[in-house]
């Protein structure tokens, strides 16, 4: 089942990964203002139609060759440590510095963006569990599970249970993604059409889609939490999958295939992902948003998010934060061998 990455595919998806973390930062930065400015609201909704599905797809793509075996086990341990470390850090700072109210701090309730870590472990385990099935069957089963999970009478945010299944199809597609087939299919003419479609979708959202229920885009709530108890509520999620697949495929047209500055930055997106939440929290408590009521100020806010994304992806940040962002797990493996009486 394990696969390898073609060099050109790795370059393309590193470029995509940085662009996506840029949209994540921008989306989180503008969220407090979307009720005040329709333009920011349109950008926010447009971003949510593709950025998480594509981010999960990229994660699945880079899981090739590291899903099982020693590498897969080491990756799972590292994700678990990252979750424990940052769940503790964010919760501690919420209580001591940020003083955010009405947030339930628990390792069973992933803190905001940390849902991705909890779900990442789930995607790996679920994909491994389907390893004997062909790719088409895996994708179909993951889509069915993504729809059915919404009917369960539970809190979808618990251990990111809902998002794990809702976004599972994108992880499976990413894992089985053939870059060679993609290049052959996605010709220059089709890229132009896709780019136009992506821009058109943004225009449609800006003019007619601002009333779109955001809860559906987050993937974190069950149908009951979304106030849809109808037996056919799963059809709404199927429709949303259609929108996300179209938006995600269209957005791929904006991603350069050649190696460039984005490629190197894309190697350190994990640092941006785990650290940018601290900046968002600091900006929120600083009162800065109270002074942003003009489009020019909103443009400056977005520009600041872009610059900070680039800054957090610099090698110096990795050098300083590496022990926390990518914690070593060899000591856990050593303790395990000692406990089992195996030679070190």
Q: How far apart are CA 298 and CA 33, in angstroms?
A: 9
What rounded mean pLDDT belongs to the chain? 93
- Conformational region of residue 321, where left means phi above 0, alpha means psi within -120 to 50, and beta covers everything else: alpha
Structure confidence by residue, pLDDT tens digits, 158-198: 889 999 999 999 999 999 999 999 999 999 999 999 999 99
DSSP state of 106: B
Model confidence at 339: pLDDT above 80? no
Of 121, 117, 51, the closest CA to residue 90 belongs to 117
Query: Phi, psi (5° rounding) for residue 106?
Result: -160, 145
Structure confidence by residue, pLDDT tens digits, 231-272: 999 999 999 999 999 999 999 999 999 999 999 999 999 999
Residue 131, burial from CB neighbour count under 10 angstroms (0-12, 13-18, 19+): exposed
Angle between helix axes 38-48 and 7-30 (nearest 10 degrees) is 140
Of 236, 217, 242, 199, the closest CA to residue 163 belongs to 217
DSSP letter for each residue of 195-251: HHHHHHHHHHHHHH-TT--HHHHH--S-TTTTT---TTTHHHHHHHHHHHHHHHHHH
Q: Which residues, in sequence order, are CB contacts of 93 under 8 Å at separation 6+?
A: 278, 281
Model confidence at 343: pLDDT above 80? no
Q: What pLDDT sits at residue 105?
A: 77
Structure confidence by residue, pLDDT tens digits, 47-61: 999 999 999 999 999
Query: What tokens were used for 143?
Result: 């889509």
Query: What is the Rg, in whole angstroms, of the alpha carbon atoms belonging to the chain?
Result: 20
Q: Which pLDDT band, with edges at 50, 70 and 90, does 99 fall under?
A: confident
Model confidence at 344: pLDDT above 70? no
Q: How far apart are CA 344 and CA 336, in angstroms?
A: 10
Report the share of the chain in percent with pLDDT over 90: 81
Q: What pLDDT sits at residue 31?
A: 97
pTM above 0.85, yes or no: yes
CA angle 238, 240, 243 (to 5 degrees): 115
Structure confidence by residue, pLDDT tens digits, 65-98: 889 888 899 999 999 999 999 999 998 998 888 8
Model confidence at 63: pLDDT above 80? yes
Of 56, 64, 47, 43, the closest CA to residue 17 belongs to 56
Model confidence at 341: pLDDT above 70? no
Model confidence at 3: pLDDT above 70? no
More confident residue, 227 or 342: 227
Q: How far apart are CA 186 and CA 32, in angstroms?
A: 37
Instruction: Note whether 90 and 114 are within 8 A (CB).
Output: yes
Structure confidence by residue, pLDDT tens digits, 103-162: 777 888 898 899 999 999 999 999 999 999 999 999 999 999 999 999 998 887 888 999
Model confidence at 13: pLDDT above 90? yes
Of 50, 19, 103, the closest CA to residue 217 belongs to 50
Instruction: Note whether 31 and 44 are within 8 A (CB).
Output: yes
Q: Which residues, in sequence order, are CB contacts of 100 under 8 Å at separation 6+?
A: 94, 281
Q: How far apart are CA 33 and CA 290, in angstroms?
A: 10
Query: What tokens were used for 223?
Result: 């149908």
Q: Which residues, in sequence order, are CB contacts of 62 under 8 Å at separation 6+?
A: 5, 13, 174
Stretch 291-306: mean pLDDT, rounded? 96
């Amino acid at each position: 089942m394990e696969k390898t990455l073609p060099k050109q595919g790795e370059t393309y998806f590193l470029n995509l990964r940085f662009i996506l973390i840029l949209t994540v930062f921008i989306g989180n930065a503008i969220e407090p203002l979307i009720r005040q400015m329709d333009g920011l609201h349109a950008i926010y909704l447009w971003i949510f139609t593709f950025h998480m599905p594509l981010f999960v797809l990229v994660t699945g793509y880079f899981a090739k060759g590291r899903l099982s075996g020693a590498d897969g086990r080491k990756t799972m341990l590292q994700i678990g440590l990252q979750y424990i470390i940052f769940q503790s850090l964010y919760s501690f700072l919420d209580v001591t510095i940020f003083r955010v109210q009405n947030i339930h701090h628990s390792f069973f309730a992933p803190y905001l963006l940390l849902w991705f870590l909890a779900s990442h472990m789930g995607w790996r385990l679920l994909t491994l569990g389907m390893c004997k099935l062909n790719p088409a069957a895996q994708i179909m089963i993951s889509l069915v599970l993504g729809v059915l999970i919404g009917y369960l009478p539970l809190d979808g945010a618990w251990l990111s249970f809902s998002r794990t299944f809702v976004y599972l199809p994108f992880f499976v597609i990413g894992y089985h993604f053939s870059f060679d087939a993609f290049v052959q299919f996605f010709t220059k003419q089709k890229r132009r059409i896709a780019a136009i479609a992506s821009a058109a979708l943004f225009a449609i959202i800006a003019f007619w889609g601002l009333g779109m229920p955001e809860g559906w885009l987050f993937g974190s709530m069950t149908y009951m939490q979304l106030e849809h108890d109808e037996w056919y509520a799963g059809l709404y999620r199927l429709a949303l999958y259609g929108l996300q697949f179209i938006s995600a495929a269209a957005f791929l047209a904006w991603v350069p295939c050649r190696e460039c500055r984005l490629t190197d930055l894309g190697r350190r997106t994990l640092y941006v992902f785990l650290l940018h939440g601290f900046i968002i929290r600091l900006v929120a408590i600083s009162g800065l948003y109270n002074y942003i009521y003009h489009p020019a100020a909103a443009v400056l806010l977005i520009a600041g998010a872009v610059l900070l994304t680039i800054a957090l992806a610099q090698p110096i940040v990795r050098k300083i934060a590496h022990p926390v962002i990518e914690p070593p797990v060899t000591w856990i493996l050593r303790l395990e061998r000692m406990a089992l009486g195996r030679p070190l």
